[in-house]
Amino acid sequence: MAYDARRETILETAASLFASQGYERTTIRDVARAAGISVAGLYYYVRGKDELLYRICERSFTMVLDSLTEKLAATSEPRGRVRVVIRNHFEHFLRHMNEMKVLTRELDALEGAQAAQIYALRHRYYTICRNVVSEVAVASVPPRLATMALFGMLNWIHMWYRPEADGNADTLADGMTRIFLDGYASSAETRAPWTRPTAASR
Amino acid sequence: MAYDARRETILETAASLFASQGYERTTIRDVARAAGISVAGLYYYVRGKDELLYRICERSFTMVLDSLTEKLAATSEPRGRVRVVIRNHFEHFLRHMNEMKVLTRELDALEGAQAAQIYALRHRYYTICRNVVSEVAVASVPPRLATMALFGMLNWIHMWYRPEADGNADTLADGMTRIFLDGYASSAETRAPWTRPTAASR
């Protein structure tokens, strides 16, 4: 297997172990065994367990940021941009649920420059999302509260999501976009959740 | 100190340690030291670390359920009942942020009858909240998705909430109720978030 492909497999294996049993409880030996390589072989790819955690976070934030930036560049309508944020998050993290658990639970274990770099990436992601959210604000709710409410809606799915009961990224994105933009109790049924309301549909 | 008061202090101390360093990493000796009693003294109150976790969860769910039931009994208007759910959750968990972290991260560590009892309490809480949420549903979003979106908004606060920047339980409840019921992008500014819209305010 090529170096990059092997390293990806190692990161995915480590994310799976960190997600299921926690970063603290997982040893570098556990990761090597689960990835089917020797401990010495594993050290060819990473310097230690902390680098595994760092690489998992760095890769996940970079991927979700890259795809978001690309999609936002192609969408100018404010409500549509909110839907892009929501859908992009689900598209990425439904396929990377282990990484989502690691990102929401284990960042505290990072230290020094690694922690600083990951928090900078997270802040970049937060800032982009907050700016998109601010564009649609009508409610007198602080953008910080609204953005954090949205992140809560999005990231909590690792606690409950079951594909067979809850549908795919599109189904989730439709429901969450609808609630976030128009509310669960408002009667805006006739329009799609990511379009601007017209006089006729109010 | 009386038995019950001492036991409460022990549970709060244990919740603080479980929240900051994780259940797995915390020893019964850590809890005894932080609570200022001997390990033997601690065993007078609980049989072991698993019972500490069980009692923390049982106490928190029972408290939040009791106060919710009492407040819902006094409120009949559907939108007002949603606000009661949100406000009650914040009132309880802003004062019990450590317990919130434990409940959202450590339930998997429970086993057997203890796990069954806590999951039953959690399911009771979920069901009450979902029924309240269903009463206001206008949007064609499944109540399960809407309820989980709401729990995500509410429980994510342990990741970001700072009292000096984000206000008290009332401020949070107003913002979240507004977003959940009416949406962040809908123009319903003139009415309070927990009242039904009138023709004049649309």
Q: In the predicted model, is pLDDT for residue A195 greater than 50?
A: no
| Tens digits of residue pLDDT in A103-140 | 998 999 999 999 999 999 999 999 999 999 999 988 78
- The ipTM is 0.84
Predicted model pTM: 0.87
- For residue B125, the chain A residues in CB contact (below 8 A) are none
Residue in chain B lying closest to A158 (CA): B152
| Tens digits of residue pLDDT in B117-155 | 999 999 999 999 999 999 998 878 999 999 999 999 999
Interchain contact, A183 vs B139, CB within 8 Å:
yes
Q: What's the pLDDT at B62?
A: 97
Q: What's the pLDDT at A19?
A: 95
* Tokens 């439904």 sit on residue: A94
Q: Would you place residue A188 in the very low, low, confident or very high pLDDT band (cuts 50, 70, 90)?
A: low
| Tens digits of residue pLDDT in A61-99 | 999 999 999 999 999 999 999 999 999 999 999 999 999
Contact of A58 with A113, CB cutoff 8 Å: no
| Tens digits of residue pLDDT in B98-124 | 999 999 999 999 999 999 999 999 999
Architecture of A49-189 per CATH? Orthogonal Bundle (1.10)
> Which residues make Cβ contacts (< 8 Å) with residue A70, sequence separation at least 6?
none
Looking at chain A, which runs of residues are DSSP E strands? none
> Which residues make Cβ contacts (< 8 Å) with residue B37, sequence separation at least 6?
B10
- For residue A183, the chain B residues in CB contact (below 8 A) are 139, 179-183, 186
Q: What's the pLDDT at A139?
A: 74
Per the rule left: phi > 0, alpha: psi between -120 and 50, beta: everything else, A112 is left
Q: Where are the domains of chain A?
A: 49-189
Spatial distance between the Cα atoms of B66 and B124, rounded to a whole number of angstroms: 11
Tell which A residues from 141 to 200 touch B, by Cβ distance under 8 Å. 141-142, 144-146, 148-149, 151-157, 159-160, 165-166, 172, 174-176, 178-189
Which residue type, as a one-letter code, is found at position B74? Answer: A
Closest Cβ opposite residue A153 in set B153, B175, B187: B153
Q: In the predicted model, is pLDDT for residue A2 greater than 80?
A: no
- For residue B160, the chain A residues in CB contact (below 8 A) are 148
E strand or H helix at A51: helix A49-73
- For residue A160, the chain B residues in CB contact (below 8 A) are 148
Higher pLDDT: A190 or B159? It is: B159
Contact of A195 with A79, CB cutoff 8 Å: yes
Q: Considering only CA atoms, which of A75, A176, A65, A168 is closest in space to residue A124?
A: A65
Q: A118-132 as b/e, with b when 16 or more CB fall inside 10 Å? A: beebeeebeeebbeb
Handedness of CA B112, B154, A20, A173 (dihedral sign): positive
Other Cβ atoms less than 10 A from the Cβ of B178: the count is 27
Tell me the CATH number for domain B50-187. Answer: 1.10.357.10
Task: Estimate to the nearest angstrom the gap between the alpha carbon of A124 and the chain centroid.
Answer: 13
Q: What's the pLDDT at A198?
A: 42
Q: What's the pLDDT at A1?
A: 64
C-alpha distances out from residue A179 to A32, A95, B120, B160, Å? 43, 23, 28, 21
C-alpha distances out from residue A4 to A10, A11, A45, A121, B60, Å? 10, 10, 9, 22, 47
Collect the ranges in chain B with pLDDT lower than 50: 189-202
Interchain contact, A153 vs B155, CB within 8 Å:
no
Handedness of CA A20, A22, A28, A29 (dihedral sign): negative
- Mean pLDDT of chain A, nearest integer: 90
Q: Would you place residue A47 in the very low, low, confident or very high pLDDT band (cuts 50, 70, 90)?
A: very high
Q: What's the pLDDT at B138?
A: 82
